[in-house]
Amino acid sequence: MFKAIVSASTLRDALDSVSVLVDECKIRLNEDELAIRAVDPANVGMVDLTLEAAAFESYEADGGVIGVNLNRLEDIAGMANSGDLVQLELDEETRKLHIQIDGLSYTLALIDPDSIRQEPDIPDLDLPAEIVVEGAQIGRGITAADMVSDHIRLRVDEAEEAFFIEAEGDTDDVDLRLDREDLIDLQAGPAESLFSLDYLKDMNKAIPKDAEVRVELGEEFPVKLHYEFGEGMGQVTYMLAPRIQSD
């Protein structure tokens, strides 16, 4: 059983954060929250999303799992105006999801969850550095890095108390230096890792410019990016595997 009403903008934020990594996903309709975990086909980027029951206008669920085509669901949510409410109701017999937006009804065929890639376990990593920064700053660093390279280095300089977003191209280099006063918070620690820029660009598309993004970073370790949406009642964690640094 699943029956819920949610604002179109909250639904869209939730879907966008997952669709940047995968086309299809399982959605867990838990009693107290909707939850999605997914990993991209290359096993490089993962996403863990929860949207609490309180983020919905109304929410009833009993622990089922459905499989959805994310682009299709995004298109439907895209039909709504930001203020519109979206009604979702699962028909257990036909395995279809009924979606209603102000007189418009959409009957969405679901995907067999068993046909969808297994959900990843996102490990606790206890990383030595933590940076809290505006989404817009991360976007700035990514755009600049994209001018010169396919890779991006995230680095904390403990002595300088600064966070660096860096890229080295064949002829040109770029770095964005964010000092303690440019950041919302910084717990400095030994941290420097290289990542594929394509994945960070995709994740950045979903991160709101004004979000507080908590970045957990280590030395040649995966990075974790956390942010909230839906007035704090939705949480997204991205985890991205590092590239081996060639020196």
Task: Kindly list the residues in this chain that would bind its own copies in the complex (CB under 8 A).
Answer: 72, 75-76, 79, 103-109, 140-141, 143-144, 147, 171-179, 182
Q: How far is the CB of 178 from its own copies (least distance, A)?
A: 6
Our CB check for its own copies shows the closer of 102 and 158 to be 102
- State the nearest-atom distance from the C-beta of 120 to its own copies, in Å: 28
Residue type for position 37: R
Judged by beta carbon, residue 54 or residue 147, the one nearer its own copies is: 147
* SS3 state at 145: helix
Match 């809290």 to its residue by tokens. Answer: 132
What's the min distance (Å) between Cβ of 101 and its own copies? Answer: 9
Neighbours of 105 (CB within 10 A): 9
Minimum CB separation from its own copies for residue 169, in Å? 9
Residue whose CB is less far from its own copies, 137 or 235:
137
Q: Which of 22, 109, 34, 129 is nearest to 70 (CA)?
A: 22
Rounded-to-5 percentages of helix, strand, coil across the chain: 20, 45, 35
Q: Which is nearer to its own copies, 171 or 246 (CB)?
A: 171
Per the CB < 8 A criterion, the answer to whether 223 and 133 are in contact is no
Q: Can you list the pairs that 53-59 forms with residues at least 24 positions away whose Cβ atoms lie under 8 Å? A: 54/233, 55/6, 55/10, 55/230, 55/231, 55/233, 55/234, 56/4, 56/5, 56/6, 57/5, 57/6, 57/7, 57/85, 58/3, 58/4, 58/5, 59/3, 59/4, 59/5, 59/6, 59/34
Least CB distance from residue 70 to its own copies, whole Å? 14
**CB nearer its own copies, residue 3 or residue 72:** 72
Q: Which is nearer to its own copies, 182 or 228 (CB)?
A: 182
For residue 42, the minimal CB distance to its own copies (Å) is 28
